Amino acid sequence: MKIARMNIGVLVAAGSLLVGLAGCAGTPGTNGNSATSSSSTNSSSTSSSSPQLSGTVTVYAAASLKATFTTLASEFEAKNPGTKVVLSFAGSSDLVTQITQGAPADVFASADTKNMGKLSDASLLDGKATNFATNVLTIAVPPANPASISSFADLAKPGVKVVVCASQVPCGAAAQSVEKATGTTLKPVSEESSVTDVLGKVTSGEADAGLVYVTDVKSAGDKVKGVPFPESSNAVNTYPIATVGTSKHKDLAAAFISLVTGSEGKKVLGDAGFGVP
């Protein structure tokens, strides 16, 4: 009888030991199974999250982009709290000169491919430029149209005070292309360094007419009257945008370019009168 009791005790003790060992094997982390699963989940979660943008991005853009890029800059800052967009507008050729001389631009948007090509040739771009808009010339006259301008040929009439962009500026190069295509020679009273300066001469009454972009006339509202001419199709300007190679904020530059070339940018540009490349 004593022997039977002893055997039962041994069996109970052995059973307890086996249960204990099974419990240890199932404890999270002791054999690495549960811990590995948790670690994998955390790793996946971490890798899927993108870092929040912050800092300042400096954008050099053609003067004709002032209204649209000001709007897009506000949208960019609203979408990315902690960021700031600094805008600098001028004639594309002037901006190229500034960048080649070391100006701290992160993004460059030109009113033509020729000036963007200058930066590309100088190895001052980070990757390739992206074409994002087109524009064409039109004639801007004061609301009363005192010189009775109704065609491109009228700009060459004696006594007409016409203002154009300088030849190295995209709007000036486009004007020359139209002159060659039509056989018309203009004798401007002034050649300006940006299209906004041409528009300013017209709105101030210093000129009877000025060659500007259709987008400039649209943004000027009732300050000027636009006189379209079919010959403008001979000089369609394509607008490219790119990250400057010396940029220290290429993540911000890429994000801003993505906004400009994306659906939101296309809408803002389209509403302003720009075409699609």
Query: Where do we find the tokens 């039109």?
Result: 138
Cβ atoms of 135 and 274 within 8 Å: the answer is: yes
Q: Give me 141's structure tokens.
A: 């006259």
Considering the entire predicted model, what is its pTM?
Answer: 0.81
Residues of the chain with pLDDT under 70: 1-50
Token pair for 271:
């509403």
pLDDT value, residue 58:
98
Among 253, 262, 240, 242, residue whose Cα is nearest residue 111:
240
CA 122 vs. chain centroid, Å, equals 21
- Position 261 scores a pLDDT of 98
Pairing status of strand 190-192 against strand 162-165: parallel
Can you give the pLDDT at residue 19? Answer: 39
Q: So what's the pLDDT on residue 178? A: 97
Q: Yes or no: say if 143 and 252 are a contact pair by the CB < 8 Å rule.
A: no
Place of tokens 């002159």: 179
The most distant pair of C-alpha atoms in the chain lies apart, rounded to whole Å, by 137
What contacts 229, CB < 8 A, 6 or more positions away? 138, 139, 151, 152
Segment 51-65, tens digit of pLDDT:
799 999 999 999 999
Give the list of residues 6+ apart from residue 201 with CB closer than 8 angstroms, or none.
Answer: 163, 190, 192, 207, 210
Enumerate residues 6+ apart whose C-beta is below 8 A from 239: 62, 65, 109, 110, 111, 112, 131, 132, 133, 134, 135, 274, 277
